[in-house]
Chains A and B, each alone.
Chain A
Amino acid sequence: MFWNANSDTALQSRFWGSLAFRLTAGYAFAGLLLFFCASASLYLVLVTELDRSTELFLGDKLNVLRTMLRERPDDWDALREEIELESAARRYQQFYIRLLDDHGTPLLTTPGMEESLDLAEVARHTQGQGGPVLLKGRQGRSLRVTAASIPVGSSLTKNDTILVAVDISQQEQLLARYRQWFWTILVATFAIFPMVGYQVARHGIRPLEEMATTMQHIRSTNLRERILPEGYPSELASLAGPFNEMLDRLEESFERISRFSADIAHDLRTPVNNIRGEAEVALARARTVEEYRDVLDSCLEEAVRLSDLISDLLFLARAESPLTHLRRESVDVGQLLCGVRDYYEVSAAEGGVTFSTAVPAQPVIAELDRTLLQRAVGNLVSNALTHTPAGGSIVLETCAEPSAIRIAVSDTGVGIPPEALPKVFDRFFRVDTSRSQASGGTGLGLAIVQSIMLLHGGKVEIASQPGRGTKVTLRMPTAA
């Protein structure tokens, strides 16, 4: 049957995958085990108790005979009554007694004993045995037999031997019936327990299924729906809480994405509109070569702006992908800042802005993605240059903290109004919307800085006072 081994395991795993099945199996197994243990131990107690009562009965008989032989050794009538009559009258738990003298000659025997028992075998088995022994009788009956040597009268020399056998076949039948009932009930419970267990499990799982149905109905179009924790058991109500929070976050992300898409459309529309309009107007009638050249130049500029926007958007999209890996290398941050200063130095000088770096003597070295860090700092410096009027200053500084490095870009520029401050890292957010397109920025610069910091496991903070200046601080952990 090895060819359907796969389907077997598949079936098995499907069953194990079901919570109801697992609970049912658990209930049934526990129930059966409990029943089995309880019944088995009761059975053992019963067996022990029956054995004990038989032993007590045998001991009692021996005691009576011992007393009779010691006190009245010559009262044969009493002995005969005890040995021959009393036991022969019994129907239930019959017993047999045989009295032998010290030469082994039988003196008295309960009638029927020789028919029930092979006396030679009895003698052999009881020889030297302290307690009673179990023997099979001639008619297939089980008997317990004990033998004792008893002094006769007051003399210490004469000893008679007494054999007492008791029929325990009724006890054995009792035990057999017990065992039979035990197995019957076990088989019945084997069928009943899983059924009951399954019902209990289904009942327990039902609220979960109801919750799942509610969850199934949630689509991107109705993210506002929530699971009401009322009416559920407390364990499931606690599941509803985090699930609703997850929906909150999803709803927020969805809203952000759709707002973002609208922003993208808006920002793409402007350059496309310019290209289209300019080309259309230019083609409406014949123009000089110079005019055509101007239109083409302008179109090219708009196209370049579109390309820049697209590459910024792509950068942000990639930075958010969990598959993005940083190309970390050992970077001397001070050196990197000086490189950025070299790059912007001439621009700053032209704008009449003092541009300096404050780098500690001890080199600040960390494992970072050089290109991305360059880009983050470059974006910040570029912003600072745009917003700092002539006569102002920009300072780039860095320092090493115990387990992080800090880079700060501060300027003495126009600053950002407090109400705009929380939004500056949003995509396409511009403090001054009127000058947005003309200044050439995509409105993505700070969003890119933030995503670069997030990629490095760091964060970015901004502090600003309108009219006094702005300070942006980047903080990144040194260990990757």
Chain B
Amino acid sequence: MKILVIEDEIKTAKFLQKGLVEAGFVVDVALDGLDGLHMAQELEIDLLVLDIMLPGMDGWQILTRLRKAGRNSPVLVLTARDAVAERVQGFEFGADDYLVKPFAFSELLARVRSLLRRGSPRTQEIIRLADLEIDVLRQRATRAGRRLDLTAKEFLLLSLLARRTGEVLSRTLIAESVWDMNFDSDTNVVDVNVRRLRSKVDEPFPFKLIHTVRGAGYVLECEQ
């Protein structure tokens, strides 16, 4: 999968490239608007990460030109402003998703993955990871053949992590998906809930599946 990052702030561009490459993507970087537009038109890319405030040509202009030229690859817009009006404008210009600086890299990675996945939604009724098995329809989870006694919210949390195995999910995203809490404050509530879940899913078993990624969030994966 090839991603083009158009971002003029060198440090940001560098860590985006590094992080995305390590996540398994092929990444090209353009440091100004004109180069960026040129590369976006010439290269075959699967996704564009686009900063709005750029020298040469701003992100909205690039987006408009690309959409006019019939380029339909998904675009994730980065901006330092988060006025709602600007967000709406972004979607009108044809952006697929929107991220406000400062953002967690894990958040960006999750959104990149979900944008790339958008074409082929994965609907599984039963999710398996190592000895963990989750039956989404019947709301049952078992590990090593033993039924896990989970509350409704704990089950939701576990299936969210399982559906996105290997992805670091931020506390904000978890609060949003499980409790429908759409504000990012007091996220240690998520920690408490994850701790509870762990005590049921991981503690009685020899190896752990739920891992904390400091400063970023949680991930469900089998490290063996």
Contact = CB atoms under 8 A, between A and B. Distances in A.
A312 interface: yes
B215 A350 contact: no
A113 interface: no
Contacts of B85: 323
A379 B181 contact: no
Contacts of B181: 339-340, 343, 374, 378
Interface stretch (A258-266, A297-305, A462-470): A297-305
Given A318-B83, A342-B153, A347-B192, A297 B184 contact: no
A339 B179 contact: yes
B200 to A, nearest CB: 12
Contact of B186 (A301, A307, A311, A378): A378
Contact of B183 (A300, A342, A378): A378
Interface in A298-334: 300-301, 303-304, 306-308, 310-312, 314, 318, 323, 325
A440 interface: yes
Interface string A223-258: 000000000000000000000000000000000000
A445 interface: yes
Interface string B200-223: 000000000000001110000000
Given A300-B215, A307-B102, A310-B102, A371 B196 contact: no
Given A318-B83, A346-B193, A304 B185 contact: no
Contacts of B180: 339
A340 B188 CA distance: 14
A344 B82 contact: no
A379 B185 contact: yes
B175 interface: yes
Interface string B55-97: 0000000000000000000000000001111000000000000
A301 B189 CA distance: 16
B214 A297 contact: yes
Nearest to B214: A297
Contacts of B175: 343
Nearest to A344: B189
Contacts of B179: 339, 342-343
A250 B179 CA distance: 43
Contacts of B83: 318
A440 B180 CA distance: 23
Interface in A65-119: none
Given A307-B102, A342-B153, A346-B196, A382 B214 contact: no
Interface string A262-296: 00000000000000000000000000000000000
A356 to B, nearest CB: 17
A300 B106 CA distance: 12
A440 B191 CA distance: 14
A306 B185 contact: no
A333 to B, nearest CB: 15
Contact of B102 (A303, A312, A382): A303
Q: Which of B85, B102, B185, B215 has the most chain A CB atoms inside 10 A of its CB?
A: B185
B182 interface: yes
B176 to A, nearest CB: 10
A375 B183 contact: yes
From DSSP, what is the main secondary structure of chain B's interface residues? loop
B188 A440 contact: yes
Contact of B184 (A306, A311, A370): A311
A445 B183 CA distance: 12
Nearest to A371: B182
Nearest to A297: B214
Given A303-B102, A307-B102, A339-B180, A378 B185 contact: yes
A307 B181 CA distance: 19
B189 A308 contact: no
A347 B104 CA distance: 24
Contacts of A340: 181
Contacts of B153: 342
Contacts of A307: 102
Q: Which of B153, B214, B216 has the most chain A CB atoms inside 10 A of its CB?
A: B214
B102 A306 contact: yes
A408 to B, nearest CB: 19
Given A342-B179, A343-B175, A308 B82 contact: no
A346 B192 contact: yes
Contacts of B184: 308, 311
Given A301-B215, A304-B215, A343 B102 contact: no
A340 B181 CA distance: 8
Nearest to A321: B83
A388 to B, nearest CB: 15
B182 A374 contact: yes
B183 A371 contact: yes
Nearest to B215: A300
A445 B186 CA distance: 10
Contacts of A371: 182-183
Contacts of B102: 303, 306-307, 310
Interface in B141-185: 153, 175, 179-185
A340 B186 CA distance: 12
Contacts of A445: 185
A311 B100 CA distance: 10
A266 to B, nearest CB: 20
Contacts of B182: 370-371, 374
A339 B188 CA distance: 17
Q: Which of B84, B85, B153, B181 has the most chain A CB atoms inside 10 A of its CB?
A: B181
B192 A374 contact: no
A343 B151 CA distance: 13
Given A304-B215, A339-B179, A350-B192, 17 more contacts: A297-B214, A300-B216, A301-B215, A307-B102, A308-B185, A311-B184, A314-B82, A325-B84, A342-B179, A343-B189, A346-B196, A371-B183, A374-B183, A375-B183, A379-B186, A382-B186, A382-B189
8 contacts: A297-B214, A300-B214, A323-B85, A339-B181, A347-B193, A371-B182, A374-B183, A440-B188
> 3 closest Cβ contacts across the A-B interface?
A300-B215, A375-B183, A307-B102
